[in-house]
Amino acid sequence: MEQKNIRNFSIVAHIDHGKSTLADRFLEQAGTLDPRKKRDQLMDNMELERERGITIKAKAVRLVYAQAGREYQLNLIDTPGHVDFSYEVSRSLKACEGVLLLVDATQGIEAQTLAHAYLSLEEDLDIIPVINKIDMRNADVGKVRSQLVKIFGFKEQELIETSAKQGDGVEATMRAVVERVRMPGGDAAGPLRALVFDSSFDFFRGVVIFIRMVDGEIREGQEISFYSSGISFKVDEVGIFTPERKRIGRLAAGEVGYFIAGIKDPRQAQVGDTVCEAKQRPAEPLPGYREIKPVVFCGLYPQAAEDYGKLKDALDRLRLSDAALSYQAESSQALSFGFRCGFLGKLHMEITIERLEREHDLDLIATTPSVIYKITKGGKEWQVQNPADFPEISADQEIHELYIEISVITPVEYMSPIIDVLKDRRGTHRRTEFLDPERVLLVYEVPLAEVVIDFYDRLKSMSRGYASMDYTPLDYRLTQVVKVDILINKERVEAFSFICHRDKARRRSKAMVEKLSEIIPRHMFAVPIQAAIGGEIIARTNVKAMRKDVTSKCYGGDITRKRKLLERQKKGKKKMQSIGQVEVPKEAFLAALKLEE
Amino acid sequence: MKKTYGTRNTGHRIRGQNMNRPTNYELRTTSYEQSAQALYVHIPFCRSKCGYCHFYSVASSVERQMSKVALYFEQLKVELAEYKGKAGSFSTIYFGGGTPSLAASGLFFSFLEFVDREFGIGLAACESRVRCPVSRVSEAEISIEANPEGISLEYLKHLRAAGVNRISIGCQSFIDGELKTLGRRHNAAAGLGAVKLARRAGFGNINVDLMGGIPGTCVEDLLGNCEQAIALGVEHISIYLLDRKEDAAFLAGKGWEEEEELRGLEMVRAVLVKAGYCNYELSNYARPGFACRHNLVYWRGGDYIGLGPTACSLLSGKRYKNQASLRGYLDEPGKREEEFLDSETRRREKIMLGLRLQEGLSLKELSKVADGGGRDFRRRVARLEKLGLLAIEGHRLMLTAAGQPLADRVMVELF
């Protein structure tokens, strides 16, 4: 199709503002989807996504739309809806010329609405503001209209009102896409350049690569390569999504679709990379590619040790459809064998754990998330994300940690407790902006480490669920973090060590030793539990000695019962980990790993 | 303190015997192959149930029980007859309950006669001091548990004449308020009276049960009760503390704090030892020569036969437990569960029981039962010794004063 009849666009919205429902209406309108056969929100094809209302993997659907006697090809590129996938979102947006900025009429602008809008502005996209859910009883269309005008400077007449659920305003929205989103640029006659914006895995065919054509065309049988790796492949199949895969043999400049080239490892087709002709490497790749690096880590262990193999298989399979997931085997005193896994963020971690548990029928134990620290010493730089690898304190080393810019939108009444928490999390205030008399935007710079542990939950509970947040990574900054060791009966127990900021070490140490003293049972002697930085003890407590444990009566009839009671105690002891003379129950390790801020 | 208990318990005028000469019974110890020498007889009748008591019994009025009790004693004989060949003569018999003193003295008379005829307990006629056709004494220790209420001098004399030579009186306390809390049917005066009555009836070996840790009481109350028992001149005192775990329902969280329990145990021991009692088992005190030989059989791991519902027997490495139903027992006295004790189980029981005794656990005996756990066991013993909880004297292993309140914990360590 000619480029002038093609429109590539995305829908961006805060969670639950109705993105997937609107996408489904488009599919129906274009006749692509048979309403009798439809499942709700067809574009989210993972069970989990539907349940959590989050689109995890971007999909692209080609719609055919006729207007004024002309037929248009509308490519709807679905974007992942959460903060952790902001890089993937930005890649998806790079494949578009326009976005529909969808806002829930009952909620108004939320943190991710802002984040997406700014991202779209950065990409210089044509933005069409859409107010959704206008049919809801508690919709406040007027207020949302004025927010959109005030915050983004839209004109009143640009705003479209819809009820995706009822189907109202859908036609107007599609018309706006045709009229207001510019046609794709690119050189149809030039050498092939296409942007990889996502991939999925087909167990029979290998990696399915989602591309946005920029220059030239891609055909079956063609030899292509990826710009970053230089590895070449022969294209087996080229097609589009309707939303099912449909083979069409070639894609031209401006179009969106997929190709399959017998690639077994999804890491060979990285999001953001440029596809080019194997023999004609372009001078410039498409801009913006970077390697995705995990920033949040946690240990994943099977509840039952014998499930280790099953967990490994599950992770191997999951990585095929999630190139951002990384993992390596590790072992722990308390939890035996498992994996240290890296994620794009806390939500990515949570979704992965849920998928592992649900789709692979596993019971998992996840340790407290941690982040990466960069350590420089004597001209060398290396990264540490596990307390066990953390170097001893020394004067000539510097430690850097990742800072993020966090945006929180909240009703004004919850502003002050949220500010307190942000301050407590070592946040630096950047700006405060009143979106309207009732809602305020807070922008802070905070270390990522302070956000990965229970921040989101705290925020939600403090604001009764009304506050929303989003963040973008900034840079690594010099920091004063220390490794705290825990000593039980004077013996250091590696599994309890943790990394935290020096200013918080005392507080967290106190919480840790107190928690441990609640869980570790009383012994026949007092058990000191101490926290130390290097050689300096910064918190201590004692598990008091057990003084009395004796049964008064024991005669002929009681012997078996009494023996069994003692045998049960013995069995309980065996389940515990012996550290020197002290028996430490498994819960202690779990509690330590789950210790909250 | 001496670790052996020569037993002198009769104080009877036995024909041809000097009553002043202590009769020493050599307790053959702890081979599971030997035949049982101890007989326990459970008498599962009570006038009412006490909240803290875990023993099996049926409560109903005396009148309604009379005929049933007689029938029950007949059934005991039927059950005992089954053991013919598995036991030689008995050196101890213990009537426990329930409330054995609810049963008519004649029932004991005929039952003991039956036991003597079928197995032998060395019953001999002696000079009658009561209006009784015959009066007997036995070489065996024959104990009965009795409640202070409803026992008369006459009744006690008849028990003596039947051959019973040791009485254990369930006084529990000599403070009215405590007895009320415990739900006992007697008062302090009745408890004191019962002990004096038993003495008058000729019992030369009397035990008093005392209870500590009763809600609303303090250590001093328990010590006062001990002083009372000492003043009564009893030969034997058993002291049980209500247990925070076992008696949780009864205590409802109102029992003693751990520190109180600990102080209580310590002070009781000090008071009784000073008065000449020997703390020969964790909860039991006796004047020299008056340790309960029947219970020593249990603690030393000897074989025993138990009759009546819920009673247990230990014979040749197997433990049997009778059904926990009086009605079921009357229909089918031979119905019981069997438990085979493998060498590991026997090792554990040896540890669990032997450490209760002041004489301790014989490591020689232990190594006969199992290999004793080898080096690992010795390592654990050494550790507990270092903690000051265990002591080794010769080939015997025993709890120290510091180890006693932690007995269960120490046992678990050695299991």
Tell whether A132 and A171 lie within a shared domain. Answer: yes
Q: Of B282, B299, B316, which one is at a domain's C-terminal end?
A: B299
Domain membership flag for residue A282:
no
Tell whether A331 and A213 lie within a shared domain. Answer: no
- Of the candidates A546, A553, A569, which has its C-beta nearest B283's C-beta? A553
A-chain CB neighbours of B314 within 8 Å are: 556, 559
Tell whether A116 and A34 lie within a shared domain. Answer: yes
Q: Of B246, B268, B299, which one is at a domain's C-terminal end?
A: B299
Question: Residue B34 pLDDT more than 50?
Answer: no
What is the identity of the amino acid at A506?
R
- What CATH number is associated with residue A553? 3.30.70.2570
Is the CA virtual torsion A436, A437, A438, A440 positive or negative? positive
- What CATH number is associated with residue A443? 3.30.70.240
Tell whether B75 and B180 lie within a shared domain. Answer: yes
- What CATH number is associated with residue A317? 3.30.70.870
Do A525 and B282 lie within an 8 Å CB cutoff? no
Tell whether B144 and B46 lie within a shared domain. Answer: yes
Residue A285: CB atoms within 10 Å: 18
Would you call B67 exposed, middle or buried from its count of C-beta atoms within 10 A (0-12, 13-18, 19+)?
A: exposed
Residue B261 CA: distances (Å) to CA of B213, B214, B241: 7, 11, 8
Tell whether B200 and B347 lie within a shared domain. Answer: no
Domain membership flag for residue B189:
yes
Interface A-B: count of C-beta contacts within 8 A: 99
Do A557 and B311 lie within an 8 Å CB cutoff? yes
Tell whether A344 and A392 lie within a shared domain. Answer: no
Range of the domain at B85: 36-299
Classify residue B403 by its DSSP letter: T
Q: In the prediction, which pLDDT does B12 show? A: 42
Q: Of A367, A387, A410, which one is at a domain's C-terminal end?
A: A367
Residue B350: CB atoms within 10 Å: 24
Who's near B93: CB < 8 A, 6+ residues apart?
Answer: B38, B39, B40, B41, B112, B115, B121, B140, B141, B142, B143, B294
Tell whether B164 and B231 lie within a shared domain. Answer: yes
Q: What would the mean pLDDT of B372-390 be, rounded to a whole number?
A: 86
Residue B64 CA: distances (Å) to CA of A595, B59, B95, B331: 64, 10, 21, 19
Domain membership flag for residue A284:
no
Do A550 and B407 lie within an 8 Å CB cutoff? yes
Q: In the prediction, which pLDDT does A54 show? A: 42
Interface of B with A in 135-154 (CB under 8 A): none
The residue of B406, B410, B414 whose CB has the most chain A CBs within 10 angstroms, and thus the best one to mutate to test that interface, is: B406
What is the identity of the amino acid at A61?
V
3-state secondary structure of B78: helix
Cα distance between residue B352 and residue B304, in whole Å: 17
B-chain CB neighbours of A557 within 8 Å are: 40, 42, 55, 306, 310-312, 321
Cα distance between residue A34 and residue A30, in whole Å: 10
Q: Of B299, B317, B333, which one is at a domain's C-terminal end?
A: B299
Domain membership flag for residue B311:
no
A-chain CB neighbours of B298 within 8 Å are: 554-556, 559
Domain membership flag for residue B28:
no
- Of the candidates A553, A560, A566, which has its C-beta nearest B408's C-beta? A566
What is the identity of the amino acid at A544?
K
Tell whether A571 and A499 lie within a shared domain. Answer: yes
Tokens 């270092």 sit on residue: B386
Tell whether B75 and B220 lie within a shared domain. Answer: yes
pLDDT tens per residue across all 597 residues of chain A: 788 999 999 998 887 888 888 888 888 877 665 554 555 545 545 555 444 444 434 478 898 888 888 899 999 988 765 556 666 777 788 899 999 999 999 999 888 888 788 888 888 999 999 999 999 999 999 999 999 998 888 999 999 999 988 889 999 999 999 999 999 998 999 999 999 988 888 888 888 999 999 999 999 999 999 998 889 999 999 999 887 788 999 999 999 999 999 998 887 888 888 999 998 888 888 886 777 778 888 889 898 888 999 999 899 888 877 778 889 888 876 677 899 999 887 778 888 888 888 888 888 888 878 888 999 988 888 888 888 788 887 778 899 999 999 999 898 999 999 999 999 999 999 999 988 888 899 999 999 888 887 788 788 888 887 788 888 888 999 999 899 999 999 988 877 888 889 998 999 999 999 999 999 999 988 999 999 998 899 999 999 988 889 988 888 888 999 999 999 988 888 777 778 788 888 778 777 766 664
Measured at the CA of B266, the angle between CA B262 and CA B268, to 5 degrees, comes to: 115
Tell whether B286 and B349 lie within a shared domain. Answer: no
Domain membership flag for residue A505:
yes
CA contacts within 13 A on the Cβ side of A591:
15
3-state secondary structure of A76: strand
* Residues in chain A whose Cβ is within 8 Å of chain B: 524-525, 546-557, 559-560, 562-563, 566-567, 569-570, 573, 581
Cα distance between residue A230 and residue A227, in whole Å: 5
- Contact status of B407 with chain A (Cβ, < 8 Å): yes
Question: Residue B201 pLDDT more than 70?
Answer: yes
pLDDT tens by residue, B133-164: 578 888 899 999 999 998 999 999 999 999 99
Domain membership flag for residue B5:
no
Tell whether A381 and A435 lie within a shared domain. Answer: yes
Tell whether A263 and A323 lie within a shared domain. Answer: no
B-chain CB neighbours of A570 within 8 Å are: 412, 415
Measured at the CA of A289, the angle between CA A127 and CA A453, to 5 degrees, comes to: 80
Tell whether A40 and A168 lie within a shared domain. Answer: yes
Domain membership flag for residue A46:
yes
Strand partners, B399: B390
Domain membership flag for residue A287:
no
Tell whether B274 and B363 lie within a shared domain. Answer: no
The residue of A522, A523, A555, A561 whose CB has the most chain B CBs within 10 angstroms, and thus the best one to mutate to test that interface, is: A555
Joined tokens for residue B131: 């209006």
- Of the candidates B240, B348, B408, which has its C-beta nearest A549's C-beta? B408
Who's near A423: CB < 8 A, 6+ residues apart?
Answer: none
When the pLDDT of each residue in chain B is averaged and rounded to a whole number, the result is 86
Q: In the prediction, which pLDDT does A334 show? A: 66
Tell whether B223 and B353 lie within a shared domain. Answer: no
Residue B237 vs residue A449, higher pLDDT: B237
Who's near A270: CB < 8 A, 6+ residues apart?
Answer: A196, A226, A228, A289, A291, A292, A323
Q: In the prediction, which pLDDT does B373 show? A: 59
- Contact status of B75 with chain A (Cβ, < 8 Å): no
Do A566 and B415 lie within an 8 Å CB cutoff? yes
Residue of B nearest to A526 (CA): B387
- The tally of domains found in chain A comes to 5
Domain membership flag for residue B328:
no
Cα distance between residue B307 and residue B94, in whole Å: 10
- Contact status of B402 with chain A (Cβ, < 8 Å): no
Q: Of A331, A352, A367, which one is at a domain's C-terminal end?
A: A367
Do A524 and B409 lie within an 8 Å CB cutoff? yes
Tokens 């010493």 sit on residue: A377
Domain membership flag for residue B215:
yes
Do A559 and B406 lie within an 8 Å CB cutoff? no
- Of the candidates A552, A554, A573, which has its C-beta nearest B412's C-beta? A573
Tell whether A506 and A557 lie within a shared domain. Answer: yes
Tell whether A341 and A322 lie within a shared domain. Answer: yes
Residue B223 vs residue A93, higher pLDDT: B223
Q: In the prediction, which pLDDT does B147 show? A: 94
Do B407 and A525 lie within an 8 Å CB cutoff? no
Domain membership flag for residue A536:
yes
Q: In the prediction, which pLDDT does A333 show? A: 65
Strand partners, A376: A381, A398
How far B296 CA lies from chain A's nearest CA (Å)?
9
- The tally of domains found in chain B comes to 2
Range of the domain at A362: 296-367
Residue A240 vs residue B62, higher pLDDT: A240
Domain membership flag for residue B181:
yes
Tell whether A473 and A487 lie within a shared domain. Answer: no
In A51-204, the DSSP E strands lie at 60-67, 70-78, 98-104, 126-132, 160-161, 193-202
- Contact status of B320 with chain A (Cβ, < 8 Å): no
Domain membership flag for residue B27:
no
A453, A411 in Cβ contact below 8 A? no
Q: In the prediction, which pLDDT does B13 show? A: 38
How far A579 CA lies from chain B's nearest CA (Å)?
15
Cα distance between residue A45 and residue A243, in whole Å: 10
- What CATH number is associated with residue A245? 2.40.30.10
